[in-house]
Chain A
Amino acid sequence: MTIAGRPSPRIDAVVKVTGAARYEGDADLAGALHAALVPAAVASGRVTRIDDTAARRIAGVVAVMTHATAPRIAGATSPIMLQDPTVCFAGQPVAVVVAETVAQARLGAAAVEVTCDEAPAVTTMHGALDRAYAPASAGHVETDSRRGDPEHAPRPFEVARRYTTPTHLHHPLEPPFVLARWDGDELLVHATTQAVFSHRRRLADCFGVPADRVRVVSRLLGGGFGAKGSGLFPCMALCVMAARHAGRPVALELSRAEMFTLIGRRQETVQDLRVAATLDGALTAITHDTVAPTSMFGEYADPTATVSRVLYACPNVATSHRLVRVHAPQPNPMRAPGEGPGSFALESALDELAYDLGIDPLALRLQNRAAGDQHTGLPWSSNQLEECCRVAADAFGWHARPAQVGSLRDGRLRLGWGMAAACYPVYRMASHAQVAVDPDGGVTVRCGTQDLGTGTTTILAQLAAGALGVPLDRVAVEIGDTDLPEGPYSGGAHVSASVTPAVERAARALRDRLIERAIADPASPLFGLEPERVAIADGVMIGAGRSERVADVVARTGGLACTAHAAPESRPIASSYAHGAIFVEVGVDPELGEVRARRISAAYACGRILNPLLARSQLVGGLILGIGMALHEAATTDVRSGRIVNASLADYAIAAHADMPRFDVAFVDDDDPHLDGGVKGVGMIGTVGIAAAIANAVFHATGRRIRDLPIRPEAFID
């Protein structure tokens, strides 16, 4: 097995387990001021007066910045960026207090008096669904789709249901942090960002400075899940503005409570699904219509219904995405954006169909396998969904499933078995990468991408080590800095797919040039050999029975660096998706309404797996987020004030150790000849399908079909 492909331990595991890992917020902040945000108390209106007299009297308070005094920036995309007095959501920052310490800044913020002219607010989309409108796009794709004629398709049997999912919050454990430092026209930002290059460009645009005068650094992230990309930018800009305003470096760390409001959220959904089929289960029509809220100032729609476009073969399919404007924070992508909640609806509806028709839910999926992407008309680059189903079903023991609902018991618990299929599109971005060897023989990979815990650091090292031919422990990695060659932002499960071809290209180029040097160097044992006869393995250059260490070649001839670029095809000839199948056993205490996932068997086809150890961890992590989606998580908004009610981790429940089932996660071989590098990504698909599999299992256990997440005890009480 080559180095890329091995289950190597994370190369940053030791610094993480010893506490030596320095996250951006762990930096010594001596010399920096600290910012605290003053929230608006209304959900809609205008700031008419800000009285900072009391705030300025607090010892250590250096400045109070409001929309009236904030630096002007170009292209403000959010009222968080303090360019005007409009208030668009409860909790919106309307002033920034800057002080010598965090405590002083917070005391100062509490002392600022804000007066607003309050305007009528729409604080929830419920009750305003009739005001839904069509956005410009859903995620990266078109808002509506249609093939065939769903309304007039034959529908011998139909399931028509509404499913809902609540607002979810990313809640990485590491709070968002920004440290902004101006030096004349030059800007240095250390931040917990998933997108150093994208944020650099946006900062340059906002502040009217050339991009090469802006440096953004994010060396190590404590989780992101989407919150530290577009969601972070407004607060990042605010901190940069505060640094400009105060004339000194400013650090901003959001509190956990602020993380409920200021860095985005997964929008709640109302999804109407109609699935029609013949009596023996062949799908004839699917319509999947979704409504979600967006803010008053920004438009974002998760691609929620897109899963219905591609996952199954069906001649008549119509999907739509609609938004309702709400005085609420701007939603943004959160792990498995779109497919996460969308698969809950689709896979639940199919399960309902299966039971109504008396067909095994797994058989229904297999019967309706899509031989190609019927939405685009392209063939699949590869599709191992069937194999995923087979492997996971076998591991789970699905063949022993009793069709009768409520027939499995464990003492007083009702057990239930449910399944779902999953897919997630393969995204790829352009990426640069540099692989360099130092005079001492050490190898460094440099790529301006990020590691959120995804394992990117390790993957980069493995790719370079494998393509170059050196031991993994000789490879160092530098990421998260715009001084490095540009890499992709961290999102869309696309980083590995994006960096792999670039790193391998750079490493191979480096290998080839090192070989060229050696065979041209009379001092080398390999002098005069044909390049095709020379290889590098384990840090040793070998050819025709002769060898020397790469380190010795380099020591003589000097360090060397190769940079490469790779970009996806602009016109793909095939449609690329990762696939999966998930089988869940739940235990339900039907009297008390407690639901616990007991075991999960899942199999995924994600193309080339660069590190099975890390990839499995990603998938398990995705599944766990899905357990939370099914059973625990919901942010509640107080309709009168537009404020989040449960703004603490005591009240917004993230799955804990005790909620864990047994996990059995397998990879299915998925050699994809059409993908440069062969990588599909594993970051998102774990959260696709699992919530439906759990709800389907609950149905199998109890006969109760729950269509509104999260599933809570009251669902079992009429």
Chain B
Amino acid sequence: MNGKRLKCLGMALCCMAATVPLQGCGASSDKIEIEIVQYKPEAANYFKTVEDEFNATHDTIHLTISSPNDAMTILKTRFIREDYPDIIGIGGDINYSYFVDAQILADVSDYKGLQDINQGYLDIAEALELVPVDGTYIVPYVANAAGILYNRDMFAEHNWAIPETWDELIQLCESIQAEGILPFYFGFKDTWTCLAPWNAMAVELSPSDTTKQVNRGETTFVQEYRELSEKYLGLLPYGPDDPFAYGYNDACTAFARGEAAMYPIGSYATPQILSVNPDLNIDSFVMPASDNKEDRTLNSGIDLGFCVMAECENKEAAYEVLDFLLEYENMQKYIDAQNAVPCKNGDFKLASMLDGMLTFINEGNMTDYQDHYYPSEMSVDALLQTFLLQKDVDSFLTTFDTNWQRYNRDIIRLVQEYEQAH
């Protein structure tokens, strides 16, 4: 009886196993396979369309694009298996710096499409290299911009003017508060949102290569970040009572519902805000952190760029794919879908919530996010959250300096070896 039952179970298991079709025999073998893994799952639909259109129009190349969630984990596990995609779509942050350092990316300086890329973003990419390396390793695709999102209708109704200096910003906050409206919403429960105002203010208050100067031993964060830290604390009285209770999502919902006039966050937040209230009229302006109008610059960095892997067997085919991605119509489609800023020169139509930043973008007046240089394991976002809770500038900056030395030990050694050799 029991033996029989067991046999049945075994049979059932075998049957189930047999119904699984063989995997991995997708496209026909005479085509060149190009595989892209890109790290922005929110743009998955766009990339699906691109993939389909590319394959419909190209006979010799078959393109696969995957947009997985947690792409960095997936990429790292694939690298360790030596199972490299041909192209990866990543952001211009410290991971890119590490990948360049690990020499797993191919030099694409012979790619013709680079000529059309905004030089500002190529410079940003070059600055991300831990130590200067010959060649170009990323084709910047789109950028994002962070500043302050504001409720355009609310501002028009009260005749509030867009501030251009720190003092004007504080005055604006005072007058908003006087009307009984909350000036800012914060979602500091999600630690990463603590970085948004920080980055936006840092570009005006500290040199763009602060971290590199520290790595070379020329300065300390105690010196460079003091004004920034003090001014950041100055924003808190204009936010909700207990900003650490609310997450990014709560803040988006609250801003969408008109509970605050402004939200200091990047342009990437607009889809989430609009999903709650599609009629909200959002615009943005550059965070005015300095007292000096000449210091003004937009906080913008490479949100998505494409790197060809060193292991890619067919670079020509990879370039053909890049050409297709960089075509005007495709880029415009991406920009429309994600409210992004193009890294390519050309007459693109940008989303209306970027109106207030347009002059900076057109002038090429932008500076990269400071946090793109922070190693993620140092958790500067969590340090910032602690700082905002405790409001102790000195202890925060000292911790920042000691932690920096600890977490960047290998990088600092690399930099110093390089300095000695050159």
Whether A and B are associated in the same complex: the answer reads: no
